[in-house]
Copies of this chain bind each other. A is one copy, B any other.
Amino acid sequence: MTETVKQAKVVFQPSGRRGTFPVGTPLLDAARSLGVYVESVCGGRGICGRCQISISEGTFTKENLTSAAENLEGATEAETRYATLRKLPADRRLSCQAKILGDLVIDVPTDAQTNRQVVRKRAEARNIEADSPISLVSVSIAEPDMETPRGDIDRLREALIAETGIADLTIDPVLLPRVQTILRKGNWQVTAAIHEDRGVLPTLVALWPGEKPAVYGLAVDIGSTTIAAHLCNLQNGRTVSSAGTSNPQIRFGEDLMSRVSYVQMNPSKLPDLTKAVRDAINALIGKLVGDVGAERTDVLDATFVGNPVMHHLFLGIDPVELGGAPFALAASDAMILNARDLDLELNPGARVYMLPCIAGHVGADAAAATLAESPYKLDEITLLVDVGTNAEIVLGNRNRLLAASSPTGPAFEGAEISSGQRAAPGAIERIRIDKETLEPRFKVIGVDEWSDEEGFAEKVDTVGVTGICGSGIIEAVAEMYLAGLITEDGVIDGSMAERTSRVKSTGRTFSYLIADDGVEISILQTDIRAIQLAKGALYAGVKLLQDKLGTYDLDRIRLAGAFGSYIDPKYAMILGLIPDCPLEGVSGVGNAAGTGARMALLNRGYRREIEQTVRDIEKIETALEPKFQEHFVNAMALPNKVDQFPHLRAAVELPVRKEADAGSDAAGGERRRRRRRG
């Protein structure tokens, strides 16, 4: 290794991060090694187009380099195809495709245009009666008097006690330097905000001269991928603005466990992850208050939900204990904190309510979703599932409620799937396969028409057909099963190659071609295996809870989260992703965690309700249950090896059981327990 590799200097703008790299380094790798976030969801295949950058040409004296377009390798075949199909602007390149040939100054576009991921996190419509911990009290106080030289803030406190009857009222010290100016500005007439909630002393937290008509609260759902925030009027309970943004922690690790590993490997970087999420939330706050013409200081309360890792990272707690058994939470109970101690740019006296976590892998987001759906108030038995890389499962009714998590992995989000991608324009989201011709028709995000409808061909040009998202994969596998393309064991039936050229041999196994619009989109045997493993884990977790509950009767299934909102319940059931249940009892509930966060923000009764529910809930650790493995193996089959799905069979004609020509042994070989919490 004595060969000298030529080195090139690369500077990324607007961050200004720079480094020296061997000629031939892919530009995307260079960006990542410097911590410059360039999105890429297609795995560097030149399909998703997210990784666009442009080159700043010229001589940069400060950087002591000359940047030229020819210092970046020419377009690959994939990039040329993308440029043709998707109209890549002339000054843009795909950083995943291009290698560094010499010195470069690279502009990473920050416009939403590029990062046009669909943030499906609107506030669900729900009327929430307001009973906020924050109350506004208007009060006049006597002017200072030399004969009774009591401090201004102490006289104010007395006046508030006289007005409200709150004898043990305390004062947030943050008001100390401000109180004299405010009292004089209001000519001794002021509006006080008092915070009252369980476990803390009633506290004067904010003060305004004269009258203050409205104050706001913030409800935030911190997801691993997306952060969604809602601004609510604390007096009338109305949600006045909502916004979402990507979780910037993604640059430290795509999924939860890779972020935990990152902190484990780089303990000194924990503050960076915490700062990243807090900065993103502060930016969201600016957007939300700007939308309604309010000020950051008008926001006096906030609630936060998230899975345990997000919860801990937001609080600045090292999540490493969550990375291995016994998955010990540092803190699980609900907490009231000062927003300023979390570096949140709100009113300096604003408070924060953290919803409780249920268990080491069942977080405050699951608690919030439980609050939103309140299965504990019903006689009917409800299954509430939030599908993510780790599915959070709650099952039961007013008599008994159980919770667990199941390690589904990221397959439902399009990862580990050969043509998988996030839900974004160009992704196949729906699919139907004709049982006779075995020809597929599909729908693409961003185009209203189905692929066999008039106008599709022209319209799809603007977005392309770039991959297949979570809901598309579910339908593809389920439709392949219904069409007889795969066996109940999930093996692609090679004998079907006689009937359609879309089934092709790929060596020992087969694939099924869905589209070939420049990019070939096929379902491979490995894709089906990934889906089987994910759905098997989820189903096994649910089944365990049913065992514990002592009944397999199920009245309602509620699918929370973005994925749950977009999958068709019927296909989820055909796949055996969810257990049998009257089909009309299954529905998506959108961002239930966000709804729960708003409920807890606006009404203290809901805080008590979820605190009590989380205490009462029975926590099942699937990793400890011997029957999990048996349930998991049975759940690998479509829809299930042993469970009969009577409601489903009444609604849908399922194929008769058949054995495949090939691959069933291979399938059995994959019936291993997945790596936990991947």
By a beta-carbon cutoff of 8 Å, the part of chain A in contact with chain B is 143-154, 168, 170, 173, 176-177, 179-181, 199-201, 315-318, 321, 325-333, 335, 337-338, 341, 357-360, 619, 621, 623-624
Q: Which B residues are CB-close (under 8 A) to A315?
A: 173, 176-177
Evaluate contact between A150 and B332: CB separation under 8 angstroms.
yes
For the complex of A and B, 7 pairs with smallest distance between CB atoms: A151-B332, A144-B328, A149-B359, A146-B621, A151-B331, A151-B329, A146-B326
User: Which residue of the partner chain, among B146, B151, B341, contacts A357 with CB atoms under 8 Å?
Assistant: B151
- Chain B residue at minimal CB-CB distance from A149: B359
Alpha-carbon gap, A176 to B152, bound state (A): 35
25 contacts between A and B (CB under 8 A): A144-B326, A144-B328, A146-B326, A146-B359, A146-B360, A149-B329, A149-B358, A150-B329, A151-B331, A152-B330, A152-B331, A153-B330, A153-B331, A168-B199, A173-B315, A173-B335, A173-B338, A176-B317, A176-B330, A177-B317, A177-B318, A179-B331, A180-B317, A199-B201, A200-B201
Alpha-carbon gap, A177 to B330, bound state (A): 8
Evaluate contact between B149 and A333: CB separation under 8 angstroms.
no
- Chain B residue at minimal CB-CB distance from A328: B144
Evaluate contact between B330 and A180: CB separation under 8 angstroms.
yes
Evaluate contact between B146 and A624: CB separation under 8 angstroms.
yes
Q: Which B residues are CB-close (under 8 A) to A180?
A: 317-318, 321, 328, 330
CB distance from A183 to the nearest CB of B (A): 9
Known: A154-B331, A180-B328. 5 other contacts (CB 8 A): A146-B359, A149-B327, A149-B332, A152-B328, A179-B330
- Chain B residue at minimal CB-CB distance from A271: B177
- Chain B residue at minimal CB-CB distance from A146: B621
Evaluate contact between B330 and A151: CB separation under 8 angstroms.
yes
Q: Which B residues are CB-close (under 8 A) to A179?
A: 330-331
Evaluate contact between B316 and A177: CB separation under 8 angstroms.
yes
Evaluate contact between A170 and B150: CB separation under 8 angstroms.
no
- Chain B residue at minimal CB-CB distance from A320: B180
Q: Is the interface of A mostly helix, strand, loop or mixed?
A: loop
Q: Which B residues are CB-close (under 8 A) to A321?
A: 144, 152, 180
User: Which residue of the partner chain, among B149, B151, B173, B360, contacts A341 with CB atoms under 8 Å?
Assistant: B173
CB distance from A621 to the nearest CB of B (A): 4
CB distance from A367 to the nearest CB of B (A): 13
- Chain B residue at minimal CB-CB distance from A624: B146
Evaluate contact between B621 and A176: CB separation under 8 angstroms.
no
Q: Which of A152, A177, A331, A357 has the most CB of B within 10 A?
A: A331
User: Which residue of the partner chain, among B181, B200, B335, B621, contacts A149 with CB atoms under 8 Å?
Assistant: B621
User: Which residue of the partner chain, among B173, B177, B332, B624, contacts A337 with CB atoms under 8 Å?
Assistant: B173
Q: Which B residues are CB-close (under 8 A) to A338?
A: 173
Alpha-carbon gap, A333 to B173, bound state (A): 12
User: Which residue of the partner chain, among B147, B151, B619, contacts A333 with CB atoms under 8 Å?
Assistant: B151
- Chain B residue at minimal CB-CB distance from A620: B147
Evaluate contact between B623 and A146: CB separation under 8 angstroms.
yes
- Chain B residue at minimal CB-CB distance from A622: B146
CB distance from A323 to the nearest CB of B (A): 12
CB distance from A304 to the nearest CB of B (A): 13
Q: Which B residues are CB-close (under 8 A) to A153?
A: 330-331
Alpha-carbon gap, A441 to B325, bound state (A): 85
- Chain B residue at minimal CB-CB distance from A619: B149
Alpha-carbon gap, A528 to B176, bound state (A): 43
- Chain B residue at minimal CB-CB distance from A316: B177
- Chain B residue at minimal CB-CB distance from A148: B619
- Chain B residue at minimal CB-CB distance from A169: B199
- Chain B residue at minimal CB-CB distance from A154: B333
Q: Which B residues are CB-close (under 8 A) to A333?
A: 150-151, 154
Q: Which B residues are CB-close (under 8 A) to A619?
A: 147-149
CB distance from A404 to the nearest CB of B (A): 11
- Chain B residue at minimal CB-CB distance from A144: B328
- Chain B residue at minimal CB-CB distance from A615: B150
Alpha-carbon gap, A179 to B358, bound state (A): 19
CB distance from A274 to the nearest CB of B (A): 9
Q: Which B residues are CB-close (under 8 A) to A177?
A: 315-318, 330
A316/B176 contact (C-beta < 8 A), A154-B332, A333-B154 known = yes
Alpha-carbon gap, A154 to B335, bound state (A): 10
Alpha-carbon gap, A321 to B148, bound state (A): 15
- Chain B residue at minimal CB-CB distance from A145: B326
A624/B176 contact (C-beta < 8 A), A152-B328, A152-B331, A154-B331 known = no
- Chain B residue at minimal CB-CB distance from A181: B318
